[in-house]
Amino acid sequence: EDQVTQSPEALRLQEGESSSLNCSYTVSGLRGLFWYRQDPGKGPEFLFTLYSAGEEKEKERLKATLTKKESFLHITAPKPEDSATYLCAVYPPSSNYQLIWGAGTKLIIKP
């Protein structure tokens, strides 16, 4: 069964303390992996799409990377405004339109 697992469930960091969030998947031959940011009471906001192992995308303090089994969202020198839940989703070859979603990592950055 295709699955997406995100870890950790929650992560507390001090402002400026860099770290990484993990998204592992069991899908073979995925056709895309997506990262989103979700603030409380809001819809997910699209961040990145990755298509192939070795690919990297960057936006401000965030960098997403992809291997054949997992993706990392690296956050460098985070600020309190980076606090949010980060969601990962994959587009499997067996699907026409459906994505498989992870449960998310709640990131808290303390000033």
Contact between 98 and another protein by CB under 8 A: the answer reads yes
- By CB under 8 A, which span of 20-28, 35-43, 57-65, 71-79 interacts with another protein? 35-43
Contact between 91 and another protein by CB under 8 A: the answer reads yes
Contact between 44 and another protein by CB under 8 A: the answer reads yes
**In this chain, which of 16, 52, 80, 103 binds another protein, going by CB under 8 A?**
103
β 100-101/84-90 pair status? antiparallel
CA-CA distance, 59 to 72, in Å (whole number)? 14
End-to-end CA distance of the chain: 41
CA-CA distance, 88 to 33, in Å (whole number)? 7
What residues make contact with another protein under the rule CB under 8 A?
4, 9, 31-32, 34, 36, 41-46, 49, 87, 89, 91, 96-104
